[in-house]
Structure 1
Amino acid sequence: MTKPGYPAISLAEAQQRLCAPGSEFEMEEIIIRGQPTRVWKNAPPTLRDLLLIGRSFGEKTFLVHEEERVTFEAFARASIVLSHHFVDLGVEIGDRIAIVMRNMPEWITAFFAAQLCGALAVPLNAWWSSSELSHGLSDSGAKLVVCDGERLERILEAANEIPQAIDILVARGGEASRGSARTLESVIGTPETWHALPDEAMPTVPLAPDDPATIFYTSGTTGRPKGAVNTHRNLCSNVMAHPFSQARSFLRRGDAIPVPPPNAPQKVSLLSIPLFHVTGCSATMLTALHRGTRLVLTRRFDEEEALGLIERERVTTIGGVPTVAWRILDHPARSRYDLSSLQVVSYGGAPAAAELVRRLEAELPMGLGVATGWGMTETTATFTHVMGEDYYAHPTSCGLPLPVCEVRIRDADATVGPNTVGELQVRGPMVIPGYWNKPDADAATFDDGWLRTGDLAFLDEDGFVYIRDRLKDMIIRGGENIYCVEVEDALYAHPDVVDAALLALPHPTLGEEPGAVVVLREGATAGHEELNAFLTHRIAAFKRPVRYLMLDEMPRNPAGKILKPQLRQLFAETLRRNEPA
């Protein structure tokens, strides 16, 4: 419920107070890649500095995974010991270390171990097929891969397809190694033993804020994923985003920003988003390390498991895509769980209905309220954010740009004013310097420091951003990006397919799902099951169409371009008639 008297102060005054000289969110202007750029003065310079901040929380619990509990100190020791092992394996500054596993403590340890020895961590999508993984390993030139036992078979298959030799460390894969794989446990033990590891010094390697730190792969419009190179500054800037937005929310409602006493209960965040996404890694995990927050890891989102964890761990923040919030709201057992610890439900990564924020605000007992934001891999996660009363007042907005972030709306070559739709373009310290070995993609995506997002949006008079559509041919299914051309190319590889188009089908909780329109060669009879079985080893399961519509001919314009609006109408009519597609 909106507090009486909101807003107590203007947005400009709230920002001025929060960013004043000497404050936590003080800003300064520096030159980055030739461009004057506002940055957070007090953000950690590098991920090594961020680890040291996290280590200062000592014996507080950092990671909870099933029955395992890892303290900040134990995590730091494991990361340092593993970094020295990487050096012993021949990893040098600038080498790439791929991480392919589900959410578990070893993922985070491998990520920071890579940073401490000056390597680039390359988180690859754990749901990818072996052919997709081989592209990521080959394209990045990874020297080493750290995986879990569930993915070892695919990694071994992928390693056979890449030109470079690669070392493999496998976590939770059993005692016996296979092929070129060694067990991670032989190096650092299991998470419950990390506290007993020796207190070693960090490797002495030079690190600077604008050095590359990671390569996160994002699906490409050419059908092949491309690697976004994130710097230390990109990632460390992002840890300031959510704390700033929370502080602004307090001021806007007329409350003092709370200063927790030393013995205050620890904040607890439930992470169900995969760590191989920037939202899971940058916006959630790194922020938790920076703020001393306990991070509860789950294999995947299961609403009843999540409800149980909120009650057991006294979770204060739960995040993800809108699907997470919908499933918790609609679960029939919700009333049986104690959710009184919840303070924030935050989501992004997919379109959210205004009804969602209204229901969350009305039905869950939250202190700070509901939050949403916008970002992409190329902005290292959060770029705009809004929560509490400001979100309730602007329920279809994805928030305000953070103070260090700049946005503009462009139509053709001109910047347009408020309430006019155009392409959203952004710049700031979270924007990546470019893609890994993709100069053509760099030229098409970046313009004098500005990132062309491919999103159609407008700004209102107060500066709130509203996303209206996408220029890119992309579907967002529960926060997972699906580029249509990639799936279409995979369908074209089937010998019976002569034409194919992928469309976004609406879904009440996932936001969108992929549906395929297919034209088969004359006399062919391939259907849904056969086509999806064909796609099994070519693309990840979440990219495969949930429905097919078979046509004799694809509608095209005089230039030969498929008329997707007509196809959407045909699909909608088929669904209304409840016909099998």
Structure 2
Amino acid sequence: MSLDPRLPAGWPALSFREAEARLTAPGAPFAIATVPIRGVPTRIWTTAPPTLRDLFRIAQGHRDKTFVVYRDERVTFAGFARAATALAHALAAAGIGKGDRVAIALRNLPEWPVCYYGALLAGAIATPLNAWWTGPELAYALQHSGARVLIADGARFERIAPHLAECPALERIFVTRMEPDDRATPLSAVIGPVADWAALPDRSPPDIALDPEDDATLFYTSGTTGRPKGAVGTHRAAATTVMAYPYSASRSALRRGETPPRPDPSAPQRAALLVIPLFHVTGCHASLGAALYGGHRLVMMHRWDAVEALDLIDREGCTGAGGVPTIAWQLATAAREAGRPLPSLESVTYGGAPAAGDLVRALGEAFPKAIPATGWGMTETSATFTHHQGEDYLAHPESCGPPLPVCEVRILDPLGQDLPPGSVGELCVKGPNLVRGYWDDPAATAEVFSEGWLRTGDLARADDESFLTIVDRIKDMLIRGGENIYCCEVENALYAHPDVIDAVVLPVPHPTLGEEPGAIVALAEGARTGPEEIRAFAAERLAAFKVPVRVVVWDGLLPRNPAGKILRASLRTVFAETSAQNGSPSSSGR
């Protein structure tokens, strides 16, 4: 365990196992039971909402609290609930019911959660589509899912309109934030304008029987190569995630020797800056779901800008912020340069991509009062699977935390045998938050799902307390002359350089060794560090065979998909280009 000087004297007051046992005992706030899920005994939270409709009912109880802020628009929980219910009845009246897919192609707007829950309350499978996709990509998802309904904003509708004939299952299209079009129905004709949602009739949702194991969501994986797969999540899988952050906060309090926090309706409302797309499970389940459960305010940004984010956090008194690690880095850098420690900020949480251990230090310098938090998850785990914060994170800065107590982890060798703590192998996971498989793809489902377990394709190690560290993707690991090189380890060494704000390690072909590591880095604004300086810095921290043989300094941040994953495939040509230009062991500029 790290001896970080910021850890308080006497910490931990309670061992990790003792804290977990106290919180999950029968009758405790996070009590656990074992139930069969698809024939496999699985641990569940007994206090979690069984379905997303139950989560919706919890959200209705927050009534006149502000739920969403977007530019000058403000929506209460009551307004959101009435609009979602109105849409659910309209969908039901149009013949949409259990198992039908309702596609949602919107940027982060107040309408997004309304459309998502409108579909769920009608019994349909909510199918969020990537708002960054092109017209053909959107058409593929509509075809693949067989969506009967599409709800889109103006920009997305313009992209899909030339491809509507390619989507024969599509029967109805609703649009928002665009001029009238004969091919679509204005969403406002069903739910009215945003400002009038609170005045809609207060009705009950359609009377549809929902079971925790009913299909609820169809999220497309955010892979960086190939066609995305449609991951089918159940109501229980999605609803499980809302327990993650409250549990982690309670465990941290016990470890500090404090009483775990309890819900207090009279306490000031918490608010979070939302910069993660809602069409990604982190934005939808971990952020939106948490806000509905806890009555928190979500402050949406039209487009990410670190300086504007500082202003929004100040104006709205945001207590939480985060996203992917890159956004956390940018927020910390902007705050430090502007001398704005943001006193309202209590936590900065991030995930979706590996985070360098040095990010904890950067956040502590920028936001002295904010607790850093991180976790790991994927589309197939419905977002958060591991999580830790505060002192546990400081003590394990390279780790993404331990699995939630309803989740289980195995580290397997290539023959499928369990490895001892500290060994690197393939990460396999199990829990109630796993999706049930891939839409219309039994071969892909059988390849990675078996007896309740999911083979993630990640290389990882776990310590004696199950604190998990992601080492690399199996397919991204480099082998230099028979020596394994984990890209994440090299990237973390590069991130430790004070000028490096983004980094990726990729293979450089070699005629006899097979491949060697190369690095592409982005530097902080104004930094002038050269490739050889970065290689020398890495050489002080890594074995010689792991040090990048080439370093390219990229102009701006590295290209990423909406989930925060670096688009490695699009960067693989960089080293071929630099080799052709100069053949030197290091390169700069781009």
User: 2:131 & 2:581 partners in 1: Cα distance?
Assistant: 31
2:224–2:568: 8 Å Cα contact kept in structure 1? no
Does 1:420 pair with 2:423?
yes
Which letter does structure 1 place at the counterpart of 2:284? Answer: C
Trace 1:503-542 onto structure 2 (pairs within 5 A): 505-507=520-522
User: Over residues 324-381 of structure 1, what are the superposed CA-to-partner deviations in whole Å (9 max), with x where a residue is unaligned?
Assistant: 11111111675454611111100111121111101212331325x1000000000000
Does 1:265 pair with 2:290?
no
Match of 1:385 in 2: 387
User: 1:201 & 1:575 partners in 2: Cα distance?
Assistant: 67
- Structure 2 residue runs without a partner (length 5+): 1-5, 478-486, 492-503, 507-517, 525-564
Does 1:355 pair with 2:380?
no
Q: 1:372 to 1:575 in 2, by over 3 A?
A: farther
Match of 2:53 among 30, 38, 48: 48
User: 2:581 & 2:416 partners in 1: Cα distance?
Assistant: 36
1:83–1:203: 8 Å Cα contact kept in structure 2? yes
2:219–2:232: 8 Å Cα contact kept in structure 1? yes
Match of 2:193 in 1: 190
Q: 1:220 to 1:323 in 2, by over 3 A?
A: closer
Match of 1:140 among 120, 145, 163: 145
Secondary structure of the structure 2 residue equivalent to 1:160: helix
Q: 1:262 to 1:286 in 2, by over 3 A?
A: closer
Displacement, 1:542?
6.9
Does 1:285 pair with 2:310?
no
Q: 1:20 to 1:47 in 2, by over 3 A?
A: same
Q: 1:577 to 1:202 in 2, by over 3 A?
A: closer
User: 1:358 & 1:390 partners in 2: Cα distance?
Assistant: 14
User: Over residues 127-166 of structure 1, what are the superposed CA-to-partner deviations in whole Å (9 max), with x where a residue is unaligned?
Assistant: 0011111110000000011111111111212322223233
Q: 1:251 to 1:190 in 2, by over 3 A?
A: same
2:136–2:160: 8 Å Cα contact kept in structure 1? no
User: Over residues 181-200 of structure 1, what are the superposed CA-to-partner deviations in whole Å (9 max), with x where a residue is unaligned?
Assistant: 11111111121110111112
* Worse-superposed segment, 283-292 or 356-365: 356-365
Which letter does structure 2 place at the counterpart of 1:545? Answer: S
Match of 1:2 among 4, 7, 17: 7
Which letter does structure 1 place at the counterpart of 2:586? Answer: R
Does 1:104 pair with 2:109?
yes
Match of 1:576 in 2: 586
User: 1:572 & 1:218 partners in 2: Cα distance?
Assistant: 38
1:127–1:541: 8 Å Cα contact kept in structure 2? no
Matched pairs, number: 512
User: 2:263 & 2:216 partners in 1: Cα distance?
Assistant: 33
2:172–2:184: 8 Å Cα contact kept in structure 1? yes
Does 1:157 pair with 2:162?
yes
Displacement, 1:267?
0.8
Displacement, 1:570?
8.8
Trace 1:181-260 onto structure 2 (pairs within 5 A): 181-219=184-222, 223-259=226-262
2:146–2:170: 8 Å Cα contact kept in structure 1? no
User: Over residues 383-408 of structure 1, what are the superposed CA-to-partner deviations in whole Å (9 max), with x where a residue is unaligned?
Assistant: 00010000000000010000000000
User: 2:456 & 2:156 partners in 1: Cα distance?
Assistant: 32
Q: 1:49 to 1:550 in 2, by over 3 A?
A: closer
Displacement, 1:449?
1.2
2:336–2:365: 8 Å Cα contact kept in structure 1? no
Match of 1:529 in 2: none
Match of 1:559 in 2: none
TM-score normalised by structure 1 residue count? 0.83
1:98–1:145: 8 Å Cα contact kept in structure 2? yes
Trace 1:300-315 onto structure 2 (pairs within 5 A): 300-315=303-318
RMSD: 2.9
Match of 1:493 in 2: none
User: 2:580 & 2:33 partners in 1: Cα distance?
Assistant: 54
Match of 2:373 in 1: 371
Match of 2:181 among 177, 183, 188: 177
Displacement, 1:447?
2.0
Match of 1:453 among 448, 453, 456: 456
Match of 2:541 in 1: none
Match of 1:545 among 562, 565, 570: 570
User: 1:227 & 1:331 partners in 2: Cα distance?
Assistant: 37
Match of 2:404 among 402, 405, 426: 402
1:146–1:169: 8 Å Cα contact kept in structure 2? yes
Q: 1:547 to 1:466 in 2, by over 3 A?
A: closer
1:159–1:166: 8 Å Cα contact kept in structure 2? no
1:273–1:300: 8 Å Cα contact kept in structure 2? no
Displacement, 1:202?
1.1
Secondary structure of the structure 2 residue equivalent to 1:243: helix
Q: 1:572 to 1:251 in 2, by over 3 A?
A: farther
Q: 1:190 to 1:36 in 2, by over 3 A?
A: same
Match of 1:59 among 44, 60, 64: 64
Match of 2:349 among 346, 350, 353: 346
Secondary structure of the structure 1 residue equivalent to 2:36: strand
Displacement, 1:223?
1.5
User: 2:448 & 2:254 partners in 1: Cα distance?
Assistant: 37
Displacement, 1:507?
4.4
Displacement, 1:263?
2.4
1:422–1:458: 8 Å Cα contact kept in structure 2? yes
Displacement, 1:89?
2.3
Secondary structure of the structure 2 residue equivalent to 1:418: coil
Secondary structure of the structure 2 residue equivalent to 1:58: coil
Q: 1:568 to 1:122 in 2, by over 3 A?
A: farther
2:101–2:149: 8 Å Cα contact kept in structure 1? yes
- Structure 1 residue runs without a partner (length 5+): 485-502, 510-539, 552-566
Q: 1:221 to 1:277 in 2, by over 3 A?
A: closer
Q: 1:7 to 1:397 in 2, by over 3 A?
A: same
Secondary structure of the structure 2 residue equivalent to 1:373: strand
User: 1:354 & 1:98 partners in 2: Cα distance?
Assistant: 38
User: 2:281 & 2:264 partners in 1: Cα distance?
Assistant: 31
Q: 1:389 to 1:201 in 2, by over 3 A?
A: same
Q: 1:574 to 1:150 in 2, by over 3 A?
A: farther
Which letter does structure 2 place at the counterpart of 1:342? Answer: L
* Worse-superposed segment, 198-207 or 28-37: 198-207
Displacement, 1:167?
1.5
Displacement, 1:93?
1.5
Displacement, 1:468?
0.5
User: Over residues 63-98 of structure 1, what are the superposed CA-to-partner deviations in whole Å (9 max), with x where a residue is unaligned?
Assistant: 111111111111100000011111222212110000
Displacement, 1:269?
1.0
User: 2:579 & 2:221 partners in 1: Cα distance?
Assistant: 29
Match of 2:440 in 1: 437
Displacement, 1:21?
1.6
Secondary structure of the structure 2 residue equivalent to 1:545: helix
Displacement, 1:304?
1.1
User: 1:99 & 1:426 partners in 2: Cα distance?
Assistant: 29
Q: 1:247 to 1:575 in 2, by over 3 A?
A: farther
